[in-house]
Amino acid sequence: MPQWFIFIPSARAELRAIDQVNAMRILEALNRLRRGHGDVENVKGSNPPQKRFRVGPYRVIYRELEGGRFEIQEVGKRAEIYR
């Protein structure tokens, strides 16, 4: 089975630091993202290109990889993620 989401170690730690209810909401939303649904925008000024995915007050910053996979780079609240 393909691994659709690849979390870099710091993003995995950020997700684990979020309470269980919201972490599950984020994971469920990522599965919807894989099917092309969700509030997605390009992150301005990012090189290589990154996108952000909104889940309530949380943001997931990611890159799209070949084969429909996603590299999750950051997970956190909006105020904390855009520093």
Span 26-61, pLDDT tens digits: 999 998 988 888 888 888 888 888 999 999 999 999
Bridge-partner residues for 42, per DSSP?
51
User: Of the CATH numbers 2.40.30.10, 3.40.50.300, 3.30.2310.20, 3.40.390.10, which one belongs to the domain with range 5-81?
Assistant: 3.30.2310.20
Answer yes or no: is pLDDT of 2 > 70: no
Domain boundaries, the chain: 5-81
Helix (H) or strand (E) holding 18: none
Average pLDDT value for residue range 59-71: 91
3-state secondary structure 53-64: EEECCEEEEEEE
Question: What pLDDT shows up at residue 1?
Answer: 37
In 3D space, the residue among 48, 7, 47 whose CA is nearest the CA of residue 30 turns out to be 7
Q: Which pair of tokens denotes residue 21?
A: 């209810």
Question: What pLDDT shows up at residue 10?
Answer: 96
